[in-house]
Amino acid sequence: MSSNHRLYAYLNDEFLPLESTYLHVSDLSIQRGYGIFDFFKVQGGHLMFVDDYLNRFFSSALLMGLPVPYSEQELKDILVRLVQMNGIPDAGVKMILTGGYSENGYDPAAPNLILLQQPLTLPSEAQVATGIKIITHEYVRELAAAKTINYLVGIKLIQQVKAKGAHDVLYHHNGLVTEFPRSNFFLVRQDDTVVTPAREVLKGITRKNVLELAAKKYQVVEADVTLEDIATAKEAFMTSTTKRILPIIEIDGKPVGKGAPGAVTLDLLQDLVELENRQVV
């Protein structure tokens, strides 16, 4: 998180230089990995789809029993102020809410709220044109409906993903495909129907936007997806805040469809970029 000029963060009612933003080691994120977060893009100074991300942040907090110390509007005002102070028009913003400074290292206390702005790297045109290779792994995220800070399995798998020359790892469980550690999964059937897993996934904001855009042109289904469904798919792609839409050309060493980014995938990416650009105006 280096930058050319001083970045500010926000911790419990205070704007602080990012390099001076620390938590005491009694915090329940450090002691017990207990916390939730969310992450959205700032584009041209505009907080992209921020209400959706705030809704999900508050929903995750509720699911994990962590009271957010502000209303959604108050938190939005603080986020706008942080982005103004930092003056980076294109960046990512992370909101973290932890279990707080626990007296006994187990029972939650008043949550600590951290807001951070950080540089954002979107996929290059070359990466979109080439597409990515992925591997699969048997796993389902705990408490999948909440955006918790638990990435033990995803991070443990980083070396394995790299060793296989892959870009990311797709989780599946009991025969059903779910999601990537930080992204959602879509496939396109031979009849151009757009499909994404319905259950045991974190419902991404980009996933939601893509579903809405796709419904204007294609059949769209939220349904159970199996590894066999992928083997017969025409196209596949991942969606996330930072990736937008990234074509998947290979899964576990086998090509998806023709082994190149598909027409529906690239069409939806163009629609998504246009949707994002319309937000900024």
Q: How far is the CB of 74 from its own copies (least distance, A)?
A: 21
Structure tokens at 272: 């998504």
Q: How far is the CB of 234 from its own copies (least distance, A)?
A: 31
Burial of 46 (0-12, 13-18, 19+ CB in 10 A): middle
1 versus 223: smaller Cβ distance to its own copies: 1
CA distances from 13 to 79, 84, 110 (A): 12, 17, 13
Alpha carbon 255 to its chain centroid, in Å, reads 25
Q: Tell me, what amino acid is at 52?
A: D
Contact indicator for 41, 242 with CB cutoff of 8 Å: yes
34 versus 261: smaller Cβ distance to its own copies: 34
Helix (H, G, I), strand (E, B) or coil at 169: strand
Q: How far is the CB of 53 from its own copies (least distance, A)?
A: 16
Burial of 75 (0-12, 13-18, 19+ CB in 10 A): buried
Q: How far is the CB of 105 from its own copies (least distance, A)?
A: 7
For its own copies, the binding residues (CB under 8 A) are 1-2, 9, 11, 18-19, 21-35, 37, 64-65, 94, 96, 98-99, 103-108, 114, 116, 118, 139, 142-143, 148-153, 155-156, 158-159, 182
Separation of alpha carbons 97 and 108, rounded Å: 12
39 versus 265: smaller Cβ distance to its own copies: 39
181 versus 257: smaller Cβ distance to its own copies: 181
148 versus 196: smaller Cβ distance to its own copies: 148
29 versus 209: smaller Cβ distance to its own copies: 29
Q: How far is the CB of 36 from its own copies (least distance, A)?
A: 9
Which residue is it, tokens 């699911």? Answer: 63
* Phi and psi at residue 137, to the nearest 5°: -150, 135
Separation of alpha carbons 94 and 108, rounded Å: 21
Q: How far is the CB of 239 from its own copies (least distance, A)?
A: 18
Single out the residue of 24, 226, 228 nearest to residue 109, CA to CA: 24
21 versus 130: smaller Cβ distance to its own copies: 21
Angle between helices 205-215 and 263-280 (to 10 degrees): 110
Q: How far is the CB of 160 from its own copies (least distance, A)?
A: 10
